[in-house]
Amino acid sequence: MARGTDMVYVDTSVLVPLFLNEPHSVTVAAWYAREEGELVAAAWCVPEFASALGIKQRTGSINTQQAQGAWARFERMVAADLRLLPVEPANFHRAAELVLDAASGLRAGDALHLACAETAGAKHMATLDDALSRNAQRLKIKPVVLRVPP
Question: What is the per-residue pLDDT for 146?
Answer: 83
Q: What is the pLDDT of residues 2-20, one digit of tens each?
A: 334 589 999 999 999 999 9
pLDDT, averaged across the chain: 93
State the average pLDDT over residues 28-39.
Answer: 94
- Say whether pLDDT at 104 is over 70: yes
Euclidean distance between CA atoms 78 and 75, whole angstroms: 5
What are the CB-based long-range contacts (under 8 Å, 24+) for 31-37? 31/126, 31/144, 31/146, 34/2, 35/2, 35/3, 35/8, 35/126, 36/2, 36/3, 36/4, 37/2, 37/3, 37/4, 37/5, 37/6, 37/7, 37/8, 37/124
Identify the band that residue 148 occupies on the pLDDT scale cut at 50, 70 and 90: low
pLDDT reported for residue 5: 54
* pLDDT over 90 at 1, yes or no: no
pLDDT digits (tens, 9 = 90+) for 113-138: 999 999 999 999 999 999 999 999 99
**What integer pLDDT is reported at residue 145 of this predicted model?**
80
Domains and CATH numbers, the chain: 7-144 (3.40.50.1010)
